[in-house]
């Protein structure tokens, strides 16, 4: 199983940011309202994520780190309508097989937390530990047992930037959750939920800056069973803002050619040709209309009716942009 896990890890875990993605998604699936992320040395020395979600029962701890034992998918049909972010039950075992791994967790029903450690695939004793309700996962020395993979890690700065970007994108989609991101002992990001009526706008300005909000249009369209909301930037200068393009489908950050094309085309047709604007968009559609199971790292999706999605996006954006131009 160790080898199997390592092979799975090769697919899911490309770099420290992939670990952060899986762990934060687990925290969100567990209903966390607050997620603390501590990184050392770009994630190659330490990735630690602590949440205040529901926690894991002591008797389920060993299962949580065993391959395919725990997937949130209970049946084959569930594959068709994945509500939670995690769905393969292979993230924790994969990560644990390529790091020095520890998980500490406590549920509301337990009077103590329990801790399980995995060193290169072998789970060690669960022992009582100190922890509030919720879960902490520590991932040390990622790829320590796969020297070839470890050698491929980039500079500390680069790896951290990938993590930073990921945390920003998730924070945009979850304005009601508090995120704190630290690197080498310093707080780099602190996104607090706000009690204002427009929580989402508040989060966007926290993450992308007030300037983005000033130079963008709010979008809100529905049709053909889909809802598109968010902000599209109006390219003012020639400066490329391609690093501020966020597209979420049912809460997941997605990079998709159909989406990219529709967005590019809408901008081009209102005379913003060749610009790379910033945008933050959220598309909601029936989970049956989109396959999120294309790749374990999950930033790709396949739309069942991609033409329909493309045209809906194009029309919504074109309408909003054309109105602003007029
Ligand atoms: P998946 O998310 O696909 O189910 P994972 O390997 O990511 O698989 O997680 C295994 C299981 O461990 C989850 O199904 C969940 O039950 C539990 N788990 C993992 N992380 C957390 C967490 N932060 N809080 C509560 N439960 C968790
Ligand atoms: Mg998961």
Instruction: Please give the pLDDT value at position 120.
Output: 65
What digits encode the pLDDT tens for the residues 125-176? 788 999 999 999 999 999 999 998 899 899 999 999 999 999 999 999 999 9
Ligand 1 pocket member 89 (CB < 6 A)? yes
Q: What percent of the chain has pLDDT over 90?
A: 60
Mean pLDDT rounded to a whole number for the chain = 87
Chain region(s) in the chain for CATH 3.30.230.10: 209-325
Instruction: Please give the pLDDT value at position 239.
Output: 63
Nearest Cα residue to 244 out of 168, 158, 177? 168
Lookup: tokens for 195: 């009690």
Ligand 1 pocket member 296 (CB < 6 A)? no
Rounded Cα distance, 288 and 23, in Å: 25
Ligand 1 pocket member 72 (CB < 6 A)? yes
For 242, which DSSP code? G
- Facing residues of 223 across strands? 226
pLDDT over threshold 90, residue 236:
no
Which has the higher per-residue pLDDT, 240 or 260?
260
Instruction: Please give the pLDDT value at position 79.
Output: 45
Ligand 1 pocket member 134 (CB < 6 A)? no
Provide the 10 A C-beta neighbour count for residue 315: 16
Rounded Cα distance, 236 and 244, in Å: 14
Provide the 10 A C-beta neighbour count for residue 291: 15
Instruction: Please give the pLDDT value at position 124.
Output: 83
Which region, left, alpha or beta, applies to residue 43 given φ > 0 means left and ψ of -120 to 50 means alpha? left
What digits encode the pLDDT tens for the residues 164-178? 999 999 999 999 999
How far, in whole angstroms, is CA 321 from its chain's centroid?
A: 28
Q: Which fold has domain 2-191?
A: Heat Shock Protein 90 (3.30.565)
Chain region(s) in the chain for CATH 3.30.565.10: 2-191
Give me ligand 1 centre to Cα 70, in Å. 7
Q: Which fold has domain 209-325?
A: Ribosomal Protein S5; domain 2 (3.30.230)
pLDDT confidence bin for 235, thresholds 50/70/90: confident
Instruction: Please give the pLDDT value at position 80.
Output: 46
Give me ligand 1 centre to Cα 270, in Å. 45
pLDDT over threshold 60, residue 71:
no
Give me ligand 2 centre to Cα 64, in Å. 10
Count of helices and strands (H, E) across the chain: 10, 15
Nearest Cα residue to 270 out of 318, 218, 216? 318
Ligand 1 pocket member 64 (CB < 6 A)? yes
What digits encode the pLDDT tens for the residues 81-115? 445 555 467 889 889 999 999 999 999 999 999 99
- 167 to 88, 173, 220: CA distances (angstroms): 22, 10, 24
């Amino acid at each position: 199983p160790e080898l199997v896990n390592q092979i799975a890890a090769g697919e899911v875990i490309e770099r420290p940011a992939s670990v952060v993605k899986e762990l934060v998604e687990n925290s969100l699936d567990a209903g966390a309202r607050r997620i603390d992320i501590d990184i050392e040395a770009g994630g190659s020395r330490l990735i630690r994520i602590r949440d205040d979600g529901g926690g894991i029962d002591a008797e389920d701890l060993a299962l949580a780190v065993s391959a395919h034992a725990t997937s949130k998918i209970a049946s084959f049909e569930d594959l068709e309508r994945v509500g939670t972010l995690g769905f393969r039950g292979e993230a924790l075992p994969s990560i644990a097989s390529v790091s020095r791994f520890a998980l500490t967790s406590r549920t509301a029903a337990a009077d103590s937390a329990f801790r399980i450690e995995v060193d290169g695939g072998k789970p060690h004793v669960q022992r009582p530990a100190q922890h509030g309700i919720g879960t902490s996962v520590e991932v040390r020395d990622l790829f320590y047992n796969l020297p070839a993979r470890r050698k491929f890690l980039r500079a500390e700065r680069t790896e951290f930037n990938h993590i930073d970007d990921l945390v920003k994108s998730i924070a945009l989609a979850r304005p009601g959750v508090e995120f704190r991101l630290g690197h080498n002992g310093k707080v780099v990001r602190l996104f607090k939920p706000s009690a204002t009526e427009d929580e989402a706008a508040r989060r966007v300005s926290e993450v992308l800056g007030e300037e983005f909000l000033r130079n963008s249009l709010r979008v809100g369209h529905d049709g053909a069973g889909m809802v598109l909301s968010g902000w599209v930037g109006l390219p003012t200068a020639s400066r490329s803002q391609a690093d501020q393009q966020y597209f979420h489908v049912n809460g997941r950050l997605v990079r998709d050619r159909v989406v990219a094309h529709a967005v590019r085309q809408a901008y081009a047709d209102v005379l913003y040709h060749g610009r790379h604007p910033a945008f933050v968009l959220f598309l909601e559609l029936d989970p049956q209309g989109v396959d999120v199971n294309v790749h374990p790292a999950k930033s790709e999706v396949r739309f069942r009716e991609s033409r329909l999605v493309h045209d809906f996006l194009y029309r919504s954006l074109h309408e909003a942009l054309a109105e602003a131009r007029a």
